[in-house]
């Protein structure tokens, strides 16, 4: 968990990273919340369309009821996160392979946080295209 620990401690810039870890989701949640960050989890195994992915991200991050389940709404709601947040996205590669162009846009939106916006670390866990994001070690 050293890479994640560095992010949580402020020694590594948050962003979107592939993450190789066998930790249980509950253990990741505990570490994240213990560090004072908010935690969200997406099980990507059944998700292979953009609306499904956007809905799952919105659910994981407790977006408001008016969340429009589109890319603009995703960007807007990320700006309103209550504080630093970790999103663990397991089994992301099905969507990355089914809709590679849309996946790239979603990853770009997740990774483009301004200096005044809440910090967001997205952990893409599981096998998938290596060029999707840098590895967090």
Asked if 126 and 93 touch (Cβ cutoff 8 Å), the reply is yes
Backbone angles phi, psi at 126, to 5 degrees: 115, 170
Which pLDDT score, from 0 to 100, does residue 98 have? 96
What is the spatial order of strands in the sheet that 85-90 belongs to? Answer: 38-43, 85-90, 120-125, 16-19, 135-136
Range of the domain at 110: 2-136
Indicate the number of domains in the chain: 1
CATH number at 32 reads: 3.30.370.10
Residue with tokens 């589109």: 70
Residue 1: pLDDT band with limits 50, 70, 90: low
pLDDT in tens, 105-124: 999 999 999 889 999 999 99
pLDDT in tens, 16-46: 999 999 999 999 999 999 999 999 999 999 9
Q: What is the pTM of this model?
A: 0.96
- The set of residues, in sequence order, having a beta carbon less than 8 Å from that of 29 and lying 6+ positions away, is 39, 41
pLDDT in tens, 76-99: 999 999 999 999 999 999 999 999
């Amino acid at each position: 968990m050293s890479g994640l620990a560095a992010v949580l401690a402020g020694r590594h810039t948050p962003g979107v990273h592939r993450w190789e870890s066998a930790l249980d989701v509950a253990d990741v949640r505990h570490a994240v919340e213990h560090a004072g960050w908010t935690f969200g989890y997406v099980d990507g195994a059944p998700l292979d369309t953009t609306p499904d992915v956007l809905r799952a991200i919105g659910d994981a991050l407790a977006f408001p009821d008016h969340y429009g389940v589109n890319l603009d709404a995703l960007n807007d709601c990320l700006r309103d996160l209550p504080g630093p947040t970790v999103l663990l996205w397991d089994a992301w590669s099905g969507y990355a392979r089914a809709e590679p162009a849309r996946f790239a846009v979603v990853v770009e939106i997740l990774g483009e946080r301004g200096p005044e916006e809440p910090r967001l670390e997205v952990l893409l866990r599981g096998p998938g295209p290596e060029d999707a994001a840098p590895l967090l070690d």
